Amino acid sequence: MDKNSKIYLAGHRGMVGSAIWRALEKRGYTNLIGRTSAELDLRNQAEVNAFISEEKPDVIIDAAARVGGILANNDHPYTFLMENLRIQNNLIEAAHHLEVKKFIFLGSSCIYPKFAPQPLKESYLLTGPLEPTNEWYAIAKITGVKACQSIRKQFGKDFVSLMPTNLYGTHDNFDLKTSHVLPAMIRKFHEAKENNNSTVELWGSGSPMREFLFVDDMAASVVFALENVLPDHLYNVGTGVDITIKELAEIIQQKVGHTGDIAWDSAKPDGTPRKLMDVSKMHDLGWKHKVDLEEGIEKTYKWFLENIDNFKQVKM
Read off the DSSP letter of residue 158: E
Q: Which residues of the chain have pLDDT under 50?
A: 312-316
Q: What is the pLDDT of residue 312?
A: 45
Positions at the binding site for substrate: 188, 203, 210, 270
The amino acid at residue 101 is K
Q: How many CB atoms lie within 10 A of CB 80?
A: 24
Q: Which domains does the chain have, with CATH numbers?
A: 7-306 (3.40.50.720)
- Dist CA 281 CA 60 (whole Å): 23
- Dist CA 170 CA 216 (whole Å): 9
- Per the CB < 8 A criterion, the answer to whether 279 and 238 are in contact is yes
- Dist CA 302 CA 175 (whole Å): 17
Reported as a single tens digit per residue, the pLDDT across 167-209 is 999 999 888 877 889 999 999 999 999 999 999 999 999 999 9
- Per the CB < 8 A criterion, the answer to whether 134 and 266 are in contact is no
Read off the DSSP letter of residue 199: P
What is the separation, in whole angstroms, between the first and last Cα of the chain?
Answer: 44
Read off the DSSP letter of residue 268: S
Positions at the binding site for NADP(+): 11-17, 106-109, 141, 164-167, 180
Q: What is the pLDDT of residue 309?
A: 81
Residues marked active site are found at 137
> Residue 282's closest CA among 239, 227, 219?
239
Q: What is the pLDDT of residue 310?
A: 65
Q: What is the pLDDT of residue 177?
A: 77
Positions at the binding site: 11-17, 106-109, 141, 164-167, 180, 188, 203, 210, 270
> Residue 315's closest CA among 174, 192, 171, 154?
174
> Residue 170's closest CA among 221, 106, 224, 214?
214
- Dist CA 13 CA 55 (whole Å): 19
| CB-based contacts of 254-259 (< 8 A; 24+ apart in sequence) | 255/294, 255/297, 255/298, 255/301, 256/186, 256/189, 256/190, 256/193, 256/301, 257/193, 258/189, 258/190, 258/192, 258/193, 258/197, 258/200, 259/193, 259/197
Can you state the angle between helices 181-194 and 245-256, rounded to 10 degrees? 40
Q: What is the pLDDT of residue 69?
A: 67
